[in-house]
Amino acid sequence: MKNPEFGTIVRIGVTLLLVAGRAVSAEDTLRPFWQVAQARKPVPGAPQYSAVTVRNLRPHPCLSAKEPDPYDTLRMIQEFHVTRLEWTYQLDPPFVAQLKTLGLTVGGALEDDSGSASKLGRVTGKDGQLVTHRWFPRDRLVGCANAPEFRRAWLEEAKRNVDAGVDLIQQDDPQMAARCDPPYCYCQYCQQAFAAYRQKHGPLADYEQFQRDSILAFHQEMHRQLDAYAGRHIPFSHNSAIRFHGKPDWTNPAFDFINGELDARNLAPTTFCQAVTAANDIPLVFCFRDTAVLDNRRFLALTYATGTWMMLPWDVFMPGNAPRYFGSAADYADLSGFVRANAGYLDGYEAAATTAVGLPQGAAALAIEAGSGQAYAWVRARPGEPDAPVVIHLLEWAQTGQPFVLRVRTAGLGNRPLVAKLRVPVAYNEPTHAKAQATRDFSSLAQESVLPLTIAGGDATAHIPALHPWGIMVLEPR
């Protein structure tokens, strides 16, 4: 069986395996996984691996909405076992205080049109007309990075977030004028600033580069001023254009981590892993902009298997301004509950190896045979901890899962006796989830069974049953 996407991994190299977050050499396949896995530097505001995160456009029920709002943020948080509510506009102190009593990390949000109604300090085209993003209504006006009026409006809005008690803030559309239609600002402030820029960079200085430099400097300066106001570092995530380029964009140096959007076309695991590797240890959180339950479930599992995160599919902005998507607990809480149940096998674990069907056995730390032809595996280990279990995330990418065979080089496992267990999500059952949430004991949301291992010829071989779509194999030293 041949995985149609597999060619990408082969091209990346028989001697250089693609591992989520880093490239690993062939020699690494002879070393124990806990030596290959490398600890990552803590990043301010970034989630723990076991975090369950979600966003709101604004808190629900929205009392100012024209129609009665059927959604309830606090109920959703309980149903999905959420630990973080991020990228939420219009937070106020009482609501944030309620979230904090539930133990949540809370993230506010800023757009690039703060103070839009004043029309002061807005992105202006070459013809002197105001321009904005294609996806904004015409009366939402993007601020100019060089305009003092917009700087004041941004800071006012950011301070409101801090005063509401948020832990961190998401910046949407951080590219500002660079993604207006047409792009870039030609207002009086920009013309003055470009004159100074040319004195510094020479008469051939590029206007587009000047605009990007202005926007980057805007974010950095505004964050500095907000930190001074708050008396602490306010971590900032941003909606990077990673889905277009497969790598972090030029706004990245001003931010702590990425909270971006992906669409179905970005979904192939190999493409996704290349983006994770290109991000070079920058924490990656994603909204998946699609309503297909199977795709949402596969992508959610893929993110946790690769040390990234998918926000739960609830209040998700859809392409083309289609109605926002509110997924149900019946479709997804088995997976978010599974994350909580496996916190001990997620937190502290880092990438060590990966495989898909067809990787040449001799060059790989592990291999998958048979099954649907679309099964994947990612090994994660606790760096420098030989006594800790090694975990292997197993992901079925086919519509219908089929049993498959997993072979792991025993060198990676330290050539020692092991017990293997397979942990899988439990089919959704509302009372079980309610009890787990009430007691904060999520152990009932993972089902564990011992998996017989055959050791021969330097391989540990296990037969994996069909997955829906995610399982975590735990290899414990005996």
Where do contacts with Zn ion occur on this chain (CB under 5 A)?
144, 146, 185, 187, 189-190
> Is residue 339 within 8 Å of 359, Cβ to Cβ?
no
Nearer to Zn ion, 185 or 364 (CB): 185
What CA–CA distance (Å, rounded) separates 346 from 174? 31
Helix axes 148-164, 93-101, angle to 10 degrees: 40
| Residue 215 C-beta: closest distance to Zn ion, Å | 10
Among the listed residues 314, 312, 372, the one whose alpha carbon sits nearest the alpha carbon of residue 338: 312
What CA–CA distance (Å, rounded) separates 43 from 309? 14
What CA–CA distance (Å, rounded) separates 209 from 453? 57
> Is residue 52 within 8 Å of 341, Cβ to Cβ?
no
What CA–CA distance (Å, rounded) separates 100 from 439? 17
Nearer to Zn ion, 85 or 144 (CB): 144
Nearer to Zn ion, 60 or 219 (CB): 219
Nearer to Zn ion, 95 or 218 (CB): 218
Number of Cβ atoms within 10 Å of the Cβ of 213? 17
| Residue 128 C-beta: closest distance to Zn ion, Å | 12
DSSP 3-state assignment of 377? strand
DSSP β-ladder status, 236-238 and 257-262: parallel
| Residue 109 C-beta: closest distance to Zn ion, Å | 23
| Residue 175 C-beta: closest distance to Zn ion, Å | 14
| Residue 211 C-beta: closest distance to Zn ion, Å | 8
For residue 181, report the phi and psi dihedrals to the nearest 5 degrees. -125, 100
| Residue 338 C-beta: closest distance to Zn ion, Å | 48
